[in-house]
């Protein structure tokens, strides 16, 4: 079984990687997502268990679909260096 903290940490890391790849600060993404920067920061740190609606906001701010944000198999590292965290998603 997947631990809640592990899953939230992976989700936060995914959001952070998409945000930084887009060249946005937390504040810029929050403005685009029409939410407070503390919400984005808490999700990125794995401190918040966001609802689907809460995740849809930063997805919109990134001009990405929700599936892209929650795709924990994707990583910001090159393909040859990608490693699936154990137990998060089946291959």
- Summarised one tens digit per residue, pLDDT across range 16-42 is 999 999 999 999 999 999 999 999 999
Output the CA torsion sign for 60, 65, 71, 25: negative
The tokens for 59 are 């997805």
Per the CB < 8 A criterion, the answer to whether 33 and 19 are in contact is no
In the chain, % of residues over pLDDT 90: 76
């Amino acid at each position: 079984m997947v631990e809640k903290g592990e899953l939230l940490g992976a989700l936060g890391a995914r959001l952070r990687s998409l945000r930084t790849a887009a060249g946005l600060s937390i504040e810029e993404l929050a403005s685009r997502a029409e939410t407070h920067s503390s919400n984005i920061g808490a999700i990125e740190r794995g401190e918040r268990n966001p609802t689907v609606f809460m995740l849809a906001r930063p997805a919109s701010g990134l001009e990405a679909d929700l599936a892209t944000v929650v795709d924990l198999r994707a990583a910001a590292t090159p393909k040859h260096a990608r490693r699936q965290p154990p137990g998060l998603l089946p291959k």
